[in-house]
Chain A
Amino acid sequence: MAREVSESCIDSLLTEMVSSYCNRFDANKPELAGRRIEAIGYQVGHQLAERYTMERPRFSDHLEAIKFICKDFWSEVFKKQIDNLKTNHRGTFVLQDNKFRWLARMSVDPSIENVDLSQDTSALAENKATQAMGMHLYFPCGIIRGALSNLGIPCAVSADISNLPACSFVVRIKA
């Protein structure tokens, strides 16, 4: 029943999706592109949650659901678990993946890289790079949000890539 897809296909699919949204469909309005990508992720997460929660008892509280995301869900999607989960016990969870698969093999646009002569340009290049990264992170954020909301937990998910390839997702549950 379970059909497998080669990982490289998925990677290139994602890259293509991001690039086509950022550069073709919604070229000049990145926030809209982001929302669209996030929306696709949302649907995927929504459906994956449906599938991966089969055969398991219902979650009694938010924490259980989050844990499910960290353990089973993550290892289904990324073949590894979330490395570190933090929470303030008031509806905010931080899921940290020390080697996020979809960023692991990602390199910054060379045209950006070789201009870092002076400080400001390198800084500029830096945030350009992070912007590009951010575009690639809308999709996983959407996945998490979709999965959680399908489990009855409406939330907002944002990603933070302060130190690559580690990546931490911040889940804020809407009260």
Chain B
Amino acid sequence: MANYLAQFQTIKNYCDQIVIAVEDVSDLWPNIKDRFEEQLPFKRACLNNKTRNLVFVDNLPAEFILTTDARLRSRFPQEQSLFWFREPYATVVLVTCEDLEEFKTILKPRLRLIVQNDEREWFIVFVSRAHPSNDNATKMAKKVYAKLEAEFSSKKRERCCKFDIHGPEANFWEDLESKIMECVKNTLDRRVQFYEDEIRKLSEQRFMPVWNFCNFFVLKESLAFMFEMAHLHEDALREYDELELCYLETVNTGGKQREFGGLDSGDDQAALLNIGNKPLTQIVQDDSFREFEFRQYLFACQSKLLFKLNRPFEVVSRGYPFVISFSKALILHESTLPFCLREVWVISACLALINATSSHYNDGLVASDIEKEFYRLQGDLYSLCRVKFMRLAYLIGYGMDIERSPVNSASLSMLPWPKPAVWPSLPADASSQVLDKEKVILQATPRSKHFGIQRKSLPLEPSVLLREANRRRASLSAGNMFEMFDSRPSLIDGSTPDASPSTSPLQKAKTFSMPRTNSSPGNFDGSMDRPMRLAEIYVAAEHALKRTISNADLWKSLSSLEEFEQKYLELTKGAADNYHHSWWKRHGVVLDGEIAAVCFRHGNFDLAAKSYEKVCALYAGEGWQELLADVLPNLAECQKMLNDQAGYLSSCVRLLSLDKGLFSTKERQAFQAEVVRLAHSEMKDPVPLDVSSLITFSGNLGPPLELCDGDPGTLSVTVWSGFPDDITLDSLSLTLMATFNADEGAKALRSSTATVLKPGRNTITLALPPQKPGSYVLGVLTGQIGQLRFRSHSFSKGGPADSDDFMSYEKPTRPILKVFKPRPLVDLTAAVSSALLINETQWVGIIVRPIDYSLKGAVLHIDTGPGLKIEESHVIEMESCANVSQSAADISNVNGTQKDCTLAANKEPEQLSLDDGRIEFSDWASDVNSVLWIPVLAISDTLPKGSSSVNPQKQSIVDGMRTIALKLEFGASHNQIFEKTIAVHFTDPFHVSTRVADKCNDGTLLLQVILHSQVKASLTIYDAWLELQDGFVHTGKGNGRPTSSFFPLVISPTSKAGILFSICLGKMIGEDELEARKPETESILNIRYGISGERTIGAHPPVAVESVRPEVAGQDLIFKSALVLQRPVLDPCLAVGFLPLPSTGLRVGQLVTMKWRIERLKGFGDDEISEQSGEVLYEVSANSENWMIAGRKRGHVSLSTNQGSRIVISILCVPLVAGYVRPPRLGLPNVDESNISNNPPGPHLVCVMPPVLSSSFCIPA
């Protein structure tokens, strides 16, 4: 049956649509042909597909052919059955008839005859020529048609329809079409049935020797073809798929050796999309087809159908695996095929698929994921094509110019060399080309990486080409080449470039095989079996390829380096772009990198940088450092070329911050050198740079630094440097963030001095100005290297990672600095609260109490108030004082402290000197309590007055008060200041009061002088003498010493002592002397005393200041006090007597009459009253707070001058306050007190009752 192949071919070529036969019984066709044919193609066909499901086909093409046509004549039945698809699918019988007779007699038998063989699907079209106006004609036509129907139509099938030439009925054409379709459908079913039976029969004997694939193919394809004609493309496609499966089975199982094909010229160009590439008759071999052509043929048929079905996507998705598997098939037969035919074929196949599909493909008509898949496949095709193309290029010596990138290496180095039976050998006339090639090889220097990075560049070849080629040369099949190379497995790695005698010296160093290959010519030279040199291999391959490649364009793009690169770019771009449209972003980006490499080589750094950046971003984003380390230097180089300093710097930093293991120290040092060089070079404007990955920092471990408010400090921070060498930071500044409120800004601590960072861990200290209270964390580290302004955000974990890491992978930043709220830091108090001696140099103690704060280097400014001066000449003492803690004011405590002080102050009190009011503390006092003793002298030039016991008035505290203003400056930079003014109380040692103790008859008076000690120290009186005023003399002309001398007299603190002086009145001085010298109106008491006191308690011996009153032996001091003595009345001339008060006593607010009686005791003759004639001036004095005096306070009363005359002066007065008050007193201003005797004397005090409740005060008036 195989001999029908040719015929089958031709048949297929001309018939392409289904045929409908027209049986023109009564010669009507010519008239109606046109009107029939304009119904074509059929609008809407409805057919059964192979699985007997209804399928609707639009616009089914068909043609009407008269049965008398030659095309339907003269066919042998079996070929009819074989090529049945071309037979008519329906037969239309055209008849017309005017009268019944004719119908019965002639027409009916004829029709019977026609339709008797039921092979055909037929139906009758009755054409009525009756004009509608002609009634009986139409009637007749109707009759006949009825007959016809009755005759030929059956219940189950309507086989007739009526066509009026003049105006057919409205639904006639639909009727006709449906009838035809019915026929077509039935026919189709029958034929499908037939073919399937045939195919089944054949496939049953698949594994019998008689099996013949061609027959099977003819049947199968006929069926497929029939489906195709009926526009049932799906079914047709399925047929082809089955056919392919079956074929592959037979090919693979068929034991017998078949020839593969692919040896004809032009076979290198894939025909997988063009059906008519070769007539089947050419590729048939005894009972089957040659695989090479036939598989392409089948794929072509399938893709044709797929395109018809508008599924270009599927063409690609089937095409790529097809190419792969087909190329595998080619491997099997590589030995028989021309050199590298496989590669060439794959290239052309990929390109063909790409072009065809992308031209048929238009976006958006498929689901997005299908679309992505489509682009991915296109990308795959491109890159496959690209790989093969690179391989070819390598073979003819363009290997030097192929980037040895991971992607190229991955695709090439795992791709085995072509394995021709015999490696192409050098043509005779090629010596000149060889020379050229050698020149090229010599000139080509392998591209060196930037920064002098030493990398073993990746292999592009599965094994050394030189070895491979030579081994595959038939003549050397047994040659010692094998062990020569196999003894060197180290060669397997693709050392670049291939070892060859002609490699440049630089490469000689690299390749191991050099000495061998050099030494080898000894064995090989002269003989034609000499191993080919690389150049020769290239040339030979080139020639062989030239023979293989029939496609001019492909050859052209291999002809020169430029052409090659152009094609290479085109393919790479194609792949990349398509990948970018697909899911496979990484593939796309990586290929962009390849494009970048070419751009770079051509100096198009801008484009290169853009692409490289994408690649780097990809690798960096996912942490593929090894790959990044391969690309990043290229990017850096581009940026360098583009003079993009910022970019270049950041690239260098990124290089430095990659894993240490990825680069040798030398390389990393090179990076750093670049950074430094650029930083200090001519950069116009400072470049900001983020080095967070390289320089990290953290606070030191342990508790944060704690400072008091307003204190400066030094902060020490640990900085990790990722630089391989020491790096000098011209300036460095670190911001602190307050943790409580972020807006309360970041303060920058800067160290303007250059810092040198060692590689690894460094500790830098920064001066810390006073900060606001609160706690702070580290912020950002910024600094400058030359012109380069860097910043780093990243904290490095201090030491061991604590368990916080597992909570959340970011580490909570520890506070590094705490600044406390303001608080008292020191206290100054007076050590002693009791009085000190006035007019004597005394120690004033000041307790300095640091409150857990160091007073290191503190300075105290002392400023004494008025009436107080510091004994500049004397040193100031300072002694430690363990716990002069709580208020030093209370005495007991002071006593306590005294002990403690002596305990604590076992070491000598330190001597400090005061210069213009400043005292500098020494270090030992910086954190212990201490007492500062300052010698001061309180001056008061008033002579203290004694008081008489009658009305003892005390002098007030105030005039003994002195103040000392203190100002303490302390803290690291004397920033802390504490000011305080303390009051010190000074006083005289005694307060003196006097009274006349007794009056003897001989006029001797005993004057008692009472000394009140006023200090907290025991005073010892050594001596006392009284210098009397006029009118008094010491009895017995004494020297004014007390009568009985029982000195020394010791007066313990705050107690009294008395001294008696015996004096008597002296004669008054006459008037004559009065103007001679003014009389002493007061007498002076001198006391020589000593004091024994502790300065820690109070008054104490004056500080021994040299050249201060040397005559005072040691302790002896002199105290002077003024006293006023009154002459006692001896012979009074008047007596004033106070008359007793009413017994009812005195009440507040009650009038009372005070009465005094004045009596003249002496008669005239006394000079002092001579001039006054019985007139006495009186005056009542009373404390106006206690008394209200009614009536005249002062006035004259007449008193007769003769002795014994008396008068009573009564005064109304009202006591105003209750209690014991002094009563008003009556005085006689004109009379010398010494002439008045008080008899009876007035009371010192009277008692005034509070007002009675029922007094008039309470009665409402």
Q: Does B135 contact A (CB under 8 A)?
A: no
> How many cross-chain pairs have Cβ atoms below 8 Å apart between A and B?
14
In the complex the two chains form, what is the Cα distance from A42 to B808 in whole Å?
10
Q: In the complex, identify which listed stretch (B479-487, B799-807, B1096-1104) lies at the interface while the others stay far away.
A: B799-807
In the complex the two chains form, what is the Cα distance from A35 to B808 in whole Å?
10
- Beta-carbon contacts under 8 Å, B233-286 to A: none
In the complex the two chains form, what is the Cα distance from A91 to B346 in whole Å?
53
Closest to B804 in A: A39
**What residues of B have a CB within 8 angstroms of the CB of A38 in the complex?**
807
Q: Does A99 contact B (CB under 8 A)?
A: no
In the complex the two chains form, what is the Cα distance from A103 to B224 in whole Å?
75
Shortest CB-to-CB span from B831 to chain A, Å, is 42
* Max chain A Cβ within 10 angstroms of own Cβ: one of B803, B804, B806, B807: B806
**What residues of B have a CB within 8 angstroms of the CB of A39 in the complex?**
803-804, 806-807
Interchain Cβ contacts under 8 Å between A and B, 12 examples: A35-B807, A36-B803, A38-B807, A39-B803, A39-B804, A39-B806, A39-B807, A40-B803, A40-B806, A42-B806, A42-B807, A43-B806
Shortest CB-to-CB span from A101 to chain B, Å, is 23
In the complex the two chains form, what is the Cα distance from A42 to B809 in whole Å?
12
**Beyond known contacts A35-B807, A40-B803, A42-B806: 11 more, CB 8 A cutoff:** A36-B803, A36-B804, A36-B807, A38-B807, A39-B803, A39-B804, A39-B806, A39-B807, A40-B806, A42-B807, A43-B806
In the complex the two chains form, what is the Cα distance from A133 to B957 in whole Å?
71
**What residues of B have a CB within 8 angstroms of the CB of A42 in the complex?**
806-807
Shortest CB-to-CB span from A124 to chain B, Å, is 31
In the complex the two chains form, what is the Cα distance from A61 to B806 in whole Å?
26
Closest to B807 in A: A39
Closest to B802 in A: A36
- Beta-carbon contacts under 8 Å, A25-76 to B: 35-36, 38-40, 42-43
**What residues of B have a CB within 8 angstroms of the CB of A40 in the complex?**
803, 806
Shortest CB-to-CB span from A171 to chain B, Å, is 18
In the complex the two chains form, what is the Cα distance from A97 to B806 in whole Å?
26
- Chain B interface size, as a band, is under 10
- Beta-carbon contacts under 8 Å, B776-835 to A: 803-804, 806-807
In the complex the two chains form, what is the Cα distance from A36 to B806 in whole Å?
9
In the complex the two chains form, what is the Cα distance from A35 to B806 in whole Å?
10
In the complex the two chains form, what is the Cα distance from A43 to B804 in whole Å?
11
In the complex the two chains form, what is the Cα distance from A15 to B773 in whole Å?
41
In the complex the two chains form, what is the Cα distance from A158 to B804 in whole Å?
19
Closest to B808 in A: A39
In the complex the two chains form, what is the Cα distance from A36 to B802 in whole Å?
10
Closest to A35 in B: B807
In the complex the two chains form, what is the Cα distance from A39 to B803 in whole Å?
8
**What residues of B have a CB within 8 angstroms of the CB of A36 in the complex?**
803-804, 807
In the complex the two chains form, what is the Cα distance from A36 to B803 in whole Å?
7
- Beta-carbon contacts under 8 Å, A75-130 to B: none
Shortest CB-to-CB span from A21 to chain B, Å, is 10
In the complex the two chains form, what is the Cα distance from A43 to B808 in whole Å?
11
**What residues of A have a CB within 8 angstroms of the CB of B803 in the complex?**
36, 39-40
In the complex the two chains form, what is the Cα distance from A22 to B1113 in whole Å?
76
**What residues of A have a CB within 8 angstroms of the CB of B807 in the complex?**
35-36, 38-39, 42
Closest to A39 in B: B807
**What residues of A have a CB within 8 angstroms of the CB of B804 in the complex?**
36, 39
Shortest CB-to-CB span from B824 to chain A, Å, is 28
| Ranked 8 nearest A-B pairs via Cβ | A39-B807, A39-B806, A43-B806, A42-B806, A35-B807, A36-B803, A39-B803, A40-B806
In the complex the two chains form, what is the Cα distance from A163 to B806 in whole Å?
31
Shortest CB-to-CB span from B754 to chain A, Å, is 41
Closest to A44 in B: B806
Closest to A46 in B: B806
In the complex the two chains form, what is the Cα distance from A38 to B804 in whole Å?
10
In the complex the two chains form, what is the Cα distance from A39 to B805 in whole Å?
8
- Beta-carbon contacts under 8 Å, B1216-1240 to A: none
Shortest CB-to-CB span from B419 to chain A, Å, is 43
In the complex the two chains form, what is the Cα distance from A129 to B807 in whole Å?
26
In the complex the two chains form, what is the Cα distance from A3 to B804 in whole Å?
28
**What residues of B have a CB within 8 angstroms of the CB of A43 in the complex?**
806
Shortest CB-to-CB span from B543 to chain A, Å, is 56
Shortest CB-to-CB span from B275 to chain A, Å, is 45
Closest to B805 in A: A39
- Beta-carbon contacts under 8 Å, A117-165 to B: none
Proximity string of chain B (1097-1126) to chain A, C-beta cutoff 8 Å, 1 when within and 0 when not: 000000000000000000000000000000
**What residues of B have a CB within 8 angstroms of the CB of A35 in the complex?**
807
Closest to A38 in B: B807
In the complex the two chains form, what is the Cα distance from A175 to B803 in whole Å?
27
**What residues of A have a CB within 8 angstroms of the CB of B806 in the complex?**
39-40, 42-43
In the complex the two chains form, what is the Cα distance from A143 to B778 in whole Å?
33
In the complex the two chains form, what is the Cα distance from A36 to B807 in whole Å?
7
In the complex the two chains form, what is the Cα distance from A39 to B811 in whole Å?
13
Shortest CB-to-CB span from B15 to chain A, Å, is 54
Closest to A21 in B: B803
In the complex the two chains form, what is the Cα distance from A40 to B806 in whole Å?
7
In the complex the two chains form, what is the Cα distance from A40 to B804 in whole Å?
9
Shortest CB-to-CB span from B760 to chain A, Å, is 29
Shortest CB-to-CB span from A141 to chain B, Å, is 12
Shortest CB-to-CB span from B551 to chain A, Å, is 48
In the complex the two chains form, what is the Cα distance from A173 to B807 in whole Å?
17
Shortest CB-to-CB span from B808 to chain A, Å, is 8
- Beta-carbon contacts under 8 Å, B599-635 to A: none
In the complex the two chains form, what is the Cα distance from A145 to B461 in whole Å?
51
In the complex the two chains form, what is the Cα distance from A49 to B803 in whole Å?
20
In the complex the two chains form, what is the Cα distance from A42 to B807 in whole Å?
7
Shortest CB-to-CB span from A17 to chain B, Å, is 12
In the complex the two chains form, what is the Cα distance from A90 to B103 in whole Å?
84
In the complex the two chains form, what is the Cα distance from A36 to B804 in whole Å?
7
Shortest CB-to-CB span from B1069 to chain A, Å, is 93
Shortest CB-to-CB span from A138 to chain B, Å, is 11
